Amino acid sequence: MEITTKNLAYTYQANTPFEHRAIYDINVSIASNSYTAIIGHTGSGKSTLLQHLNGLLQPTAGEIQIGDTIISSEKKQKKLREIRRRVGIVFQFPEHQLFEETVEKDICFGPMNFGVPMEEAKKKAKEVILQVGLSEDILEKSPFDLSGGQMRRVAIAGVLAMNPNVLVLDEPTAGLDPRGRTEIMTMFDKLRKEQGISIVLVTHSMEDASLYADHIIVMHKGTVYKQGTPHDIFSNPKELIDLGLDVPETVRFQLKLEEKIGKRIADPSLSLQDLVKNIQHFFERGNGL
């Protein structure tokens, strides 16, 4: 399922003294089975954009097309239920939203709300709990007896249980330890590759954006500053640094080294392997070793 925006804008409390233009002139497109990362400062409009992706907000100008449904500023869409099922949003700290007595009930809550019979929902719960890397016996436990990392997976399982086509993740690794972070990022990558689910990742981690995404959208002061492949985005690292954004540590190190040496080493390295290879080639060419 594809999502496309046309001159999308959203102003909070329009026509009041508190009017605040959060986003404007947004033209982005999220292809089927793609992995998109949205990066930008706190306050750059990422969260406002995110809430349009499943119709939680209606644009105040322009439009957004989600699959066959168009939501525009002019007309209020009525059939948003199906959109909300197909585009699952996992908000920050989703474990705060767990509430049922057992993990199974919590996961079944969403599908049953959408009219899925209980037996079927339970079957689905068994399926998704494995997809998030937990074992079936956890289904009987209270979500509040789990560790933070497990709770987060359960919350994600609850969204997966609705069979979404698009999974939108707002800072999904915040607060996790490095191992938990890697595990959960690998899991999303797998969901995309094995289930064909599109991933939209809102993140501060430039490493994750460059490692996993095939399309990066840079938000700045309420609009799209730049978009493209990780290679396009990080080809001019200084530009991003001037915006006050980070760049992957490999890119940052290479830039620092190039500034010191006063020569360009290679295109920005997006992984450690690339950086090592580029440094090595640079010295081999100059036969420094």
Partner 1 sequence: MNKSIVQFQNVSYRYDENSPLALKNVQFSVYEGEWLAIVGHNGSGKSTIAKLMNGLLFPEVGSVYINDINLSDDTVWDIRDMVGMVFQNPDNQFVGTTVQDDVAFGLENHGIPREEMVVRVQDALEKVNMGEFLDQEPHHLSGGQKQRVAIASVLALRPRIIILDEATSMLDPRGRNEVLETIRQLKQEDNITIISITHDLEEAARADRIMIMNQGEVFHTGNPTDIFALDEKLVELGLDIPFTHKLAKQLIKHGFGIDDSMLQEDKLVDYLWKLQQKI
Interface with partner 1 by CB under 8 A: which residues?
41-43, 92, 147-149, 171, 174-180, 204, 244-246, 249-250, 253, 256-257, 260-261, 263, 272-273, 275-276, 279-280, 283, 286-289
Alpha helices in the chain (DSSP H): 46-50, 80-86, 103-113, 118-131, 148-160, 178-195, 206-212, 230-234, 237-242, 249-261, 272-285
As measured in angstroms, the least distance from the Cβ of 145 to partner 1 is 9
Q: How far apart are CA 38 and CA 49, in angstroms?
A: 10
Q: Which is nearer to partner 1, 74 or 289 (CB)?
A: 289
DSSP string, 96-146: GG--SSSHHHHHHHHHHHTT--HHHHHHHHHHHHHHTT--GGGGGS-GGGS
Q: How far apart are CA 191 and CA 81, in angstroms?
A: 23
Rounded (10°) CA dihedral 25, 31, 32, 34: -110
Q: How far apart are CA 88 and CA 125, in angstroms?
A: 16
Q: Which is nearer to partner 1, 127 or 171 (CB)?
A: 171
As measured in angstroms, the least distance from the Cβ of 149 to partner 1 is 5
As measured in angstroms, the least distance from the Cβ of 273 to partner 1 is 8
> In the structure encoding, which two tokens stand for residue 120, read together?
């079927």
Q: Which is nearer to partner 1, 110 or 230 (CB)?
A: 230
As measured in angstroms, the least distance from the Cβ of 49 to partner 1 is 16
Q: How far apart are CA 100 and CA 129, in angstroms?
A: 16
The dihedral built from the CA positions of residue 248, 241, 269 and 215, taken in this order, carries a sign that is positive
Q: Which is nearer to partner 1, 32 or 273 (CB)?
A: 273
Q: Which is nearer to partner 1, 2 or 246 (CB)?
A: 246
Q: Are 95 and 173 in contact (CB under 8 A)?
A: no
As measured in angstroms, the least distance from the Cβ of 213 to partner 1 is 18
> In the structure encoding, which two tokens stand for residue 15, read together?
């026509």
Q: Which is nearer to partner 1, 17 or 286 (CB)?
A: 286
As measured in angstroms, the least distance from the Cβ of 98 to partner 1 is 16
- The DSSP letter of residue 55 is T
Q: Which helix (H) or strand (E) segment is 94 a member of?
A: none
As measured in angstroms, the least distance from the Cβ of 190 to partner 1 is 20
Q: Which is nearer to partner 1, 161 or 275 (CB)?
A: 275
> In the structure encoding, which two tokens stand for residue 6, read together?
């046309």
Bridge-based pairing of strands 198-202 and 35-39 is parallel
Q: Are 136 and 123 in contact (CB under 8 A)?
A: no
Q: Which is nearer to partner 1, 54 or 203 (CB)?
A: 203
As measured in angstroms, the least distance from the Cβ of 96 to partner 1 is 10
